Chain A
Amino acid sequence: MDLKELYQEIILDHGKNPRNLGKFENFNKDAEGYNPLCGDKVHVYLKLNEDKEIEDISFEGHGCAISMASASIMTELMKDKKNPEVKEILNDFLDMIKQSPELKSQLIKEDEKTKLMSLSGVKRYPMRVKCATIAWHALASAMNYKKDENNSEKFI
C-alpha cells in the first residue's frame, strides 16, 4: 500500500483548497455531520428550490484532508442536482466507499467518477471511512432522507 493511493493528488488539492467552503447567505437547509472519534465537524448548507433542486451548496468545517476533500468534491458534484438524483448518487458513493469496487450510477459523469474514486483508498483504513462519509451524511440529513430500516447504510 499505499499512502499514495490514500493521499492522491486530487485529495491533497481539495484538502488544501476546498471548493465551496464557507456559509452562504440565503441557504434554506443545513445539517451538521460530526465524528465523535476525532471531534471533526462538517456543516453542509443548501439552497433547495421548489423542485427540490440544489441551487447552491457549500460547507463549513474542520477536519482531516480526507474529510475536507470529500466535502469539497461532494459540493462540486451536487450543485444543480435534483432530489432523486442526489439520493441515488449519495447511496452509490456510500456503497462504493464501504464495499462496492465501483460507482454504478449513470448519473455520475466519467470525470466526476474519477474524482470520487480518488477517495476509495480509505477502504483499506476502516478507521478513516467515517472521514470520507461525514459530509455525505450531513447532506442526507439536510435533504431529510431517512435511513432504510433493513439496510442502515442506505437512504430512502
Chain B
Amino acid sequence: MSLKDIKKEFPIFSNKIQNNDLVYLDSANSSQKPQVVVDRIYDFYTKEFSNVGRSIHYLAVAATNLYENTRTLVQKYINAKDKNEIVFTKGATEAINLVANTFGQKYLKEGDEVLLTELEHHSNYVPWHYLRKSKGVNIKFAEMDENGDVTLETIEKNITDKTKIIAITHLSNVTGAILPVKEITKLAHSKNIPVLIDGCQGAPHLKLDMQDLDCDFYAISCHKMYGPTGLGILYAKKKWLEELPPYQGGGGMIREVKKEGITFGELPNKYEAGTMATAQVIAFGESIKFINKIGIENIEKHERELTVYGEEVLRKNNSVKLIGNPKDKGSVLSFTLDGVHPHDIATILDEDGVAIRAGHHCCQILHEKLGLSATARASLGVYNTKEDLDQLNESLKKCKKIFS
C-alpha cells in the first residue's frame, strides 16, 4: 500500500469538518480509523455476532476463532514468544492498573520503591500511587534533562536496593523522547528488577520485538494504532502471568467455582474476566493487517521525515518555541507560541480545521518541571503530510496576528 494516497483509506478525511478539510494533528491522543476497521465492526455485528469462549453454536465458535486470530496477529506484530502472553484489556490504562495491582499485591511491601520517570503519563503514575496508600510503597521519579530526555545513567542513579519494579514510557507523548528501553531493561535485569514499558506512543510508531526487548510488561493502546476505542493490550512474560494473582473476578476467568472455593482458568482467560470488547478485538485485527500492509518501518520512516520537516518549519517561525530536543525523537511536536496561551492557539487553529491538543497532555509532573501549565502539541500519524504541517504554521501565524 502506498503512503501517497493513504488519506483515502480513512473516511473521516473525505468529510468536511466545520466546512474545512481536516488537518488532524492529534494522533498521540487518538488516531483516525481506516475504512477496513470501521467495516469490520459493522460486518461483525451484522453477520457474525456472538459472544466468545462460551457457547458451542456455530456463531460462537466462529466468533471465538476470530477473537483468537487477533491475539495471534498481535503476538506476531510484537514478536511475543507465546500467544498467551497477550492479554486484552479495556485500554493501556487498565493494562498498567492490572500490573500495579497484581504485582503490588503479591510482591510489594512498605518501604519498597517503584521507579518511574518525570515523563510519565498520569496512567503510569496514578496506578502506582495507590500502592503508596495501601502498602506504604515509595515512588521515585528519574529526572528529565533539559532536552526532555531521561538517560540510562539517570535511571541507573535512581536504582537502589529497594527498587522492586521500573515502569517507564517508551516514547514521551510531550517531548517525543524515545527512551533506551532495551538498555534500561538489560540494566534492570542485571539487578533482578522487572520492567514495565508504557508503549502507548511506542506501539503505533516503532517496530516492536518483545523477545529482543526482553521487558517484562508492555502496555499498548489500540485506539492510537488505527484501532477501536475501549481496547488495550497487556503483553506480559508468561512466567508473570502464571505467578501473579488474577486482576478482576467474573465469568470466563475461572475453572471451577464451589461454595468453598474457586480455582482460576488457564492463560489468557485468567485475566479476561467478563464479556470482553469482542467487536473491538476482531476489528483491531484489521488495524494490525493495515499497518502490516504499509509496513511499520515505512510508517516510522514517513513520520520521522515529517517530524524533521515540522521542526524545520516551526523553527523558522520566530514566535514558536519547541519543547524537547531529545536524542531520539518520535513524531510529537510540542511547542509554545509567544504571548498566546495554548488553549487560545487550539481554538484559533480549530477554525481552520487544524486539530491539535492543548493542555498538560496528562503529564502534570513533566509540565511542572518545564515550568509551564500547558503546551500545544501537534502529533503525527501515517496519514499526515508536509502540507498539514505547512497549514499548521500558517494557522499559527494567524494566532500571532490576532494577539499582536
A interface residue numbers (CB < 8 A to B): 1, 3, 6-7, 12, 16, 37-41, 62-66, 125, 128, 131
Q: Which candidate, B38-46, B86-94, B275-283, B358-366, is the interface stretch facing chain A?
A: B358-366
A63 to B339, CA, bound (A): 11
**Interface residue ranges of B330-366 to A (CB < 8 Å):** 339-344, 347-348, 351, 358-360, 364
Cross-chain contact A41 with B403 (CB below 8 angstroms): no
Tell me which residues across on chain B come within 8 A of A125, comparing CB atoms. Answer: 347
Kindly provide the distance from the CB of A145 to the nearest chain B CB, expressed in whole angstroms: 26
Kindly provide the distance from the CB of B230 to the nearest chain A CB, expressed in whole angstroms: 22
A144 to B402, CA, bound (A): 38
Q: With A6-B347, A66-B344 in contact, is A37–B339 under 8 Å at CB?
A: no
B interface residue numbers (CB < 8 A to A): 339-344, 347-348, 351, 358-360, 364, 367, 373-374, 402-403
Most chain A CB atoms below 10 A, which of B342, B348, B360, B373: B373
Tell me which residues across on chain A come within 8 A of B340, comparing CB atoms. Answer: 65
From A7, A37, A66, A128, give the contact of B402 (CB < 8 A): A7
Tell me which residues across on chain A come within 8 A of B344, comparing CB atoms. Answer: 7, 64-66
Tell me which residues across on chain A come within 8 A of B402, comparing CB atoms. Answer: 3, 7, 12
A6 to B360, CA, bound (A): 23
Tell me which residues across on chain B come within 8 A of A1, comparing CB atoms. Answer: 351
Cross-chain contact B351 with A12 (CB below 8 angstroms): no
Cross-chain contact B343 with A38 (CB below 8 angstroms): yes
Tell me which residues across on chain A come within 8 A of B339, comparing CB atoms. Answer: 16
Tell me which residues across on chain A come within 8 A of B374, comparing CB atoms. Answer: 38-40
Cross-chain contact B341 with A3 (CB below 8 angstroms): no
Q: With A7-B402, A38-B360 in contact, is A63–B351 under 8 Å at CB?
A: no
Q: With A38-B358, A38-B359 in contact, is A64–B341 under 8 Å at CB?
A: yes
A89 to B241, CA, bound (A): 60
Tell me which residues across on chain A come within 8 A of B347, comparing CB atoms. Answer: 3, 6, 125, 128
Query: Which chain B residue shows the least CB distance to A41?
Result: B373
Cross-chain contact A63 with B341 (CB below 8 angstroms): yes
A41 to B374, CA, bound (A): 11
Q: With A64-B341, A64-B343 in contact, is A39–B360 under 8 Å at CB?
A: yes
